[in-house]
Each structure stands twice: as C-alpha cells, then as structure tokens.
Structure 1
Amino acid sequence: MIDDGYGSYDTERRILAEVQADVEIVPCRGDAARVLEAARDAHALLVRESPVTAQVIEAMRHGRAIVRYGIGVDNVDLEAARAKRIYVANVPDYGVEEVSDQALTLLMAVARHTVRRDRDVRAGAWNVSREQKMYRIAGRTLGLVGYGRIARAFERKMRGMGVARVLVHDPYFDVTLANGVECVDLDTLCAQSDYISLHSPLTEATRKLIDTRRLALMKPTTILVNTARGGLIDEAALVSALQRHVIFGAGIDVFEHEPPRADHPLFACENAVLSDHTGWYSEDSVAELQQKAALDVARVLGGERPKYWVNPWKDA
C-alpha cells in the first residue's frame, strides 16, 4: 500500500493472507521517489492519491495489479500498465449513497443559504430572508453530466424533491436505455438546467469541461454542484462567474489541487459552499471500499482477473 490514512488494515491483511500475500504499508503521500521505491518489488499496489506514473510502472519487477481505493483512476497511467500487462482496477460501486447524499446536501445548502444563515443568526441577525433570495426546488430542471451509479442515485433523491425534468449528458450512455430522462448535448444541458451536478471521470477530454463559455450559458438562478473531480471545472472561470452572479451559486466538494491553498479565491465567494472531498465518506463506505479493493488484489494474486478491471487488453 503506497498510501495510508485508514484506521485499520486488518481487513486487507485477512483477505490477502488467504493468497499468502504480505501487506506492507508505505505512506508515500505523493512523494514520487517513495512511490517508486515501494513499487519496485511489489506484486500488487493498493493506492489512494499518490500518482502511479509510467516510470513507477516500468520499475515494477513483479507487478501484477494496481488497485485504486476509489472510483477515479486518473492518478494511474493506464496505458503504461496495459503495456506491461498489469491489471488496473478500481471500486466503482462503493459510496454511491454517500456521494449522492453529499451532492444533495451541497445543493440544498446553496439553495437555502444554510451556511450564511447559520453565521448570521449566530451573530444576532434575524429575518434576513429577503436579503438572500431563494427559489422553490419542485418543478425545476436537473442536469446530470455523467450518468453512472452516483448520478442515478442523486436523480432518485432529486425526484423525491419534486424536480420535473432531468437532462443527461453522457457520451458513454446508451440513449436507447433512457427512461424518464432526456439525453442532450452539454451546451443544451447548461442552458436549460436549474441545477447541474457533475459526475464524469476526469480525462483529457473532460478537463475544464465547465469553462467560461459554458458558465455563460447557464441561468442566473443555476446551482452548480461538483462531487466528482475538481479538474472538471475551470476554477478561475467559476470564481469569476460567482463574483459576477452569472450563476446563483456552487457546491464544491473537490478541487483541482487538494488540499487547496489557504488563499484560494473560492473561499471568498459567499455564494459557494465548500467541503473537503468528503463526499465518499461514511464508516460504512470505508469498510466496503477496503474490502472490495483487497478482494480484487486477491483475485489477481490467485490467478483470476479483477472484478473491476479498467484497462483491458485484446488478447487477455
């Protein structure tokens, strides 16, 4: 393991002992040299945030698997691993309820000015509702950028809030399977949605997907929520849009660079509610994540393919 951070690793040790594998925890925390050294003799890597570059993968003498504790695999060089026939896997079906809860929480906090109202009431203010405009959620249009498990869970919760229309932009979604949603291009989604929630993976094609031009397409009452990857948004463009009230507000759980610097300009935006990439977290989801990641390592070391294989090759 080239990252630490969990309270216990008993689950991994128990599961991997069944395939006679030892568990070594090396807290690299993004240090490239430590990652390289830790990976050199490893048969498998379990990784959180540290980058697993082509150089690291090339140095792996016995490498058979790289498993990410999480959904996104943008910190692993998939092509380099494929070239060496090293399986890369993630855990795409953990924390679905938690992340969709976080998206809903952020949206509601922005829509109802929860953070600002809490601060003002504690300071002695009262009945300031007319100073902070709010709008009814029922009857509005929800836009989902990416339509995987988390987006669908979020849609279910927002349907319960009374949204009347759901727009989806996802180039990998089979539109023939659409049931109660409208598949549209991203510009249409930006222009017509009252609430926009991002659920796409971060790739070169999706980096800064939400930029100045697309923010300008949005309504002045639009709320933008990001619980996916910070790089999906051009942060400078978002700050400008919030400052100029091009959109109503934003709920942000993820940043392009984490943790953000102390003087990050989003901190000064009153119409933004921010959290610390904690959408994935609950005690339940941590236990689920550790178990599923360890099981995929065990599958590979036991001679099987990983359940959540993300870099397949043709002759496998």
Structure 2
Amino acid sequence: MEQSGRKRVVIIDDGYGTYETEQRILNAVDADVILEPCRGDVTRVIAAVAEADAILVRESPVNAQVVQAATRLRAIVRYGIGVDNIDLAAARDRAIYVANVPDYGVEEVSDQALALLLSVARHTVVRDRAVRAGAWNVSRSEKMYRIAGSTLGLVGYGRIARTFERKMRGMGVERVLVYDPFLNASGAPGVEMVDLDTLCAQSDHISLHSPLTPDTRRIIDARRLALMKPTTIIVNTARGGLIDEAALVDALKHRVIFGAGIDVFEGEPPPADHPLFSCENAVLSDHTGWYSEDSVAELQRKAAEEVARVLRGELPKSWLNKWETQSA
C-alpha cells in the first residue's frame, strides 16, 4: 500500500508469483512498491511511471519518451541481463541510473544451451516422437556425431559463455574458439580468439552469448551460415535478433548445417506459423533458459537491492550508462 511522503518504485511488468522480496527490501528504504503491468504498451508505461522514483522492468519499452515523462526518476533496473528495451543514452542525459542483474541464472542458461545442443545432436525430440509412433532401431536413418574431440565456438565470452564452456569441456570438447570484440586475448586464457568468419567455418558447435545491439543484430546471416560445416549445430539462448531467422530456416531445410537449438526469437511469442516450426532439425523452447525457482528468487532480490542502493544515495553495482560522478 502506498503511503504519503514515501518513495515510489513501480514494477511495470508482471510475471512473478509474489513481490514480497521487493516489498521487504524496498520498505527498508522508505519506498512503496506498486505493480502496474503495462504489457509492452508505451502509453501505459508513460502513465505508470509519471511519479516514479525508480522502475523495475522486464520487457516493456523504457524509451526516451518514457524517460522524459518520469520527472522524479532516479533508477531503472532491468529484471535480467539484456537492456535493449531501455534507452541508455536518454537516461544518462537525465542522470538516471540504469542497472541490470548480470550474474543471475548463469547456471540455468548454460544448462539450457547444453540441453538444446544435446537434443539436436542426439535427435532426442524426433526420436521421442518416432518411438511413440512405433518406430525402433532407426539409428543410421538420422546421422549423429560425437561431441568429444570437437571444436566449440562461442560468440560472446561473458559469464554464461564461460560456464557453458566449462560444461562442454567436461564432455570432451577439445578446442574452443571465441569471438568477442570487447575482449583481448589476455582476458581469455585457454581459448583461441578469432574473427567471426573463422569461428563459423571451423566450429562444430556454435553457441551465441552476445547482447543485442545495432552491431550484433543478425550477426549470423546467410553468408555466415554458408561458411559453417554441414555437421555444425548452432544454439541461441541470448537474443533472437542475433540470427537472421529466414536465413536460418533456409540453412536448416537445405541441410547447410546439421541443426539448431533456439530458446529466443526475433519476435516473441513467435506466430503459430513460424517457419522454424516446420524444421525437423531444430529444437525450440520458449525463452525460459533463465528459469528455475532458484534463479527467480535470486533475480528479484538482486534487482530490488540495486534500486535500494540508489534510493540510499549509493551507486548501483551493475551501472550500465555511466557518467562522471562521485556519488549517487
């Protein structure tokens, strides 16, 4: 319940079972938590945040128009890692802190990438359907290849990619190639830093872990898919916009690559007639790679703690749109 004279923290996307964690943490800094689900509607967002001191957001847009409308705003905190729905520059221009939670769900997303890779490599989904339909002993009808001794390509080399690498090393991956333009070789011991074309041409398995930016949008396009081996599996648990989906469908249907494991789409949810649904060599999931009961609890707590830091006059731990300052 909102009380007069207290700070106002607005949650503009719902989706969690309870917000008791946020209420407990933010009550300690004299803030009321108001849930105003906006369902991605920027007009509703503008109305919801007009008197907010801080915003907690998942998918709804926080663009320049929203930032200008929120005259009291001090912090925007993303429930998650990617901030492509937030105008960082507009917030910086008004000295509004933008923060995320970069270290939650690392185990879960890397597990999802591994699960998708194995499902594609072992034809798990197709084989399940075949067995239920009465098929048996069809091993050579769908070729499979060993993971041990293979080459792994990682596009982006942050926390999730490194955790995924650790798990794949345990399965016997022999060589790891990394493309990350924000990292030099000294920051990636034990892997080979290469350009993206080299990674595409030489990797047996490719896993995407980059943020979505204008420079990375559709970074995997028809040309780069054509560079890949016919035995290559590509996995995307990062952002759907990293892949040209039409080019991927074409590559899958013409067996340019072996298969794909996709947890994220360019438009979510995808339409019922999305072309990827007709690709037997694709395994798909619903952008839930981040999810476990443990990761949800961790995410809500850490996001609320970032808001609390700003409202106490401190700097957020994961401050993304930095400007020169000594204090909050």
Shorter-chain TM-score range: over 0.9
Q: Deviations over 1:238-279 (max 9, x none)?
A: 000001000000000000000000100000000000000010
Cα distance in structure 2, aligned partners of 1:164 and 1:237: 29
Counterpart of 2:53 in structure 1 is 43
Amino acid in structure 2 at the alignment position of 1:144: L
Equivalence for 1:309: 319
Tell me if 1:83 matches 2:125: no
Q: Residue 227 of structure 2 aligns with which residue?
A: 217
Counterpart pick for 1:197 among 187, 192, 207:
207
Distance 1:308 1:314 in 2: 15
- 1:207 matched to 2:217? The reply is yes
- Which residue pairs with 2:125 in the alignment? 115
What corresponds to 2:112 in structure 1?
102
What's the CA shift for 1:175? 1.1
The TM-score, its normalising length taken from structure 1, stands at 0.99
Residue number among 256, 278, 287 corresponding to 2:288 in the alignment: 278
Deviations 1:33-52 (A, max 9, x none): 11110111100000000010
Give the match's secondary structure for 2:234. Answer: strand
Query: What CA deviation, in whole Å up to 9, does each residue of 1:133-179 have, x standing for no partner?
Result: 00010000000000000000000000000010000000111311322
Tell me which amino acid in the other structure corresponds to 1:122.
R
In structure 1, distance between residues paired with 2:121 and 2:324: 48
CA distance in 2, matches of 1:4, 1:315: 33
Measured in 1, the distance between the counterparts of 2:184 and 2:303 equals 28
Residue 60 of structure 1 and its aligned partner are, at CA, apart by: 0.6
Aligned-pair CA distance for 1:315: 4.2
Give me the whole-angstrom Cα distance separating, in 2, the residues matched to 1:128 and 1:31: 50
Structure 2: distance between partners of 1:314 and 1:140: 46
Counterpart code for 1:221: T
Give the Cα–Cα distance (whole angstroms) in 2 for the partners of residues 14 and 310 of structure 1.
25
Aligned partner of residue 22 in structure 1, secondary structure: strand
Distance 2:230 2:208 in 1: 18
Q: Identify which of 265, 277, 294 aligns with 1:267.
A: 277
Q: In 2, distance between residues paired with 1:115 and 1:83? A: 49
SS in 1 for 2:219: coil
Q: Distance in 2 between matches of 1:84 and 1:179?
A: 39
Correspondence for 2:194: 184
Aligned to 1:240: 250
What corresponds to 1:62 in structure 2?
A: 72
Give, as a single letter, the amino acid of the residue that structure 2 aligns with 1:247: I
Gaps of 5+ in 1: none
**Counterpart pick for 2:38 among 20, 28, 37:** 28
Whole-Å separation in 2 of the counterparts to 1:308 and 1:127: 52
Moved over 4 A (4+): none
- Identity fraction in percent: 76
Segments of 5+ residues of structure 2 without an aligned counterpart are 1-10
Q: What code does the residue aligned with 1:18 have?
A: A
| Distance in structure 1 (CA, Å) of the matches to 2:271 and 2:187 | 43
Deviation at residue 225 of structure 1 after TM alignment: 0.2
Task: Tell me if 1:6 matches 2:16.
Answer: yes
Q: What SS class does the counterpart of residue 143 from structure 1 fall into?
A: strand
Q: Which residue, out of 241, 248, 264, partners 1:254?
A: 264
Structure 2 Cα separation of the partners of residues 314 and 250 of structure 1? 43
SS at match of 1:293: helix
Paired position in structure 2 for 1:175: 185
SS, match of residue 63 in structure 1: coil
SS of 1:36's partner is helix
